Amino acid sequence: MEHYTMNLNLKVWKQKDQHAKGSFKMYRVENISSEMSFLEMFDVLNEQLITAGEDPIAFDHDCREGICGMCSMYINGKPHGPWQANTTCQLHMRAFQNEDTIVVEPWRANAFPVIKDLMVDRSAFDRIIQAGGYISVNTGNAVDGNAILIDKDNADNSFAAAMCIGCGACVAACKNSSAMLFVSAKVSHLALLPQGGPERHNRVINMITQMDKEGFGSCTNTGACEAACPKEISLTNIARLNNEYLKVSVVAEK
């Protein structure tokens, strides 16, 4: 792989705090190696800004290996940037060319208010999980791990849904700011396992109620979430959630 260096123009969203009015600001970075990660390029920019006595750009990041779900940049019109099935932290600069202008925005959704610059508040996701995204089993209640056999396909599908990293790219990508892919991934993860069975009805109602309360939009099955998802969570999960919901609404006692 041939490496090269590039000079770039960055148009980045700056916003002092949640209540301030933000705007775009232009920056220039030079001698960026194609081997750098996108966030390392931001590190270079921030070092440059600090040294010049300017305010660095605030952005969320932690593991930088695509699994914690903390990074959240909307790069050139796509959550997590141009690569497929990728997080911002794993995007590398060879995706760009010399003298490119890169536009970086925060996730946009009322339910994800901007905290500062590119950082947003995703605590709504935690509250959705609190509403029912768990199996109610206290420590010590468990039977032997092999006592309940689980169909391998169900276990695999459950795992595929559980791979969700909760980054919020689905919400950012959706024209309706819907959190359905996130919620459906959790509902599917637990509904596909026998352990999650007893609570599946209440879970789906409570999680949807909370999702609505948080101010996310409704799903119109456009598929933008699936296309943006770094873990390729399938739209099928949304259909499964709908199925669960329909079943509950038909069989509910009251």
Is residue 158 close enough to count as binding other proteins by CB under 8 A?
Answer: yes
Handedness of CA 206, 208, 210, 212 (dihedral sign): negative
Bridge partners of residue 37, in order along the sequence:
92
* Contact flags string 120-139 toward other proteins, x per CB under 8 A: -xxx-xx--xxx-xxxxxxx
Minimal distance, residue 85 CB to other proteins, in Å: 8
CB 143 within 8 A of CB 191: no
Q: How far is the CB of 153 from other proteins (least distance, A)?
A: 9
Pairing mode, strands 101-105 and 5-14: parallel
Interface with other proteins (CB under 8 A), residue total: 132
Q: Is residue 232 involved in binding other proteins (CB under 8 A)? A: no
Residue with tokens 């795992």: 159
Q: Per-residue x/- marks for other proteins, 201-230, CB under 8 A?
A: ----x--xx-xx--xxxxxxxxxx--xx--
Does residue 25 touch other proteins according to CB under 8 A? no
* Residue 249, C-beta contacts closer than 8 angstroms, at least 6 positions apart: none
Nearer to other proteins, 100 or 248 (CB): 248
The contact mask relative to other proteins for 57-96 (x = CB under 8 A, - = no) is -x-xxxxxxxxxxx---x-xxxx---x--x---x-x-x--
One residue of 17, 28, 198, 232 binding other proteins per CB under 8 A: 17
Taking residue 116's Cβ as centre, other Cβ atoms within 10 Å add up to: 19
* Residues 101, 122 contacting (CB under 8 angstroms): no
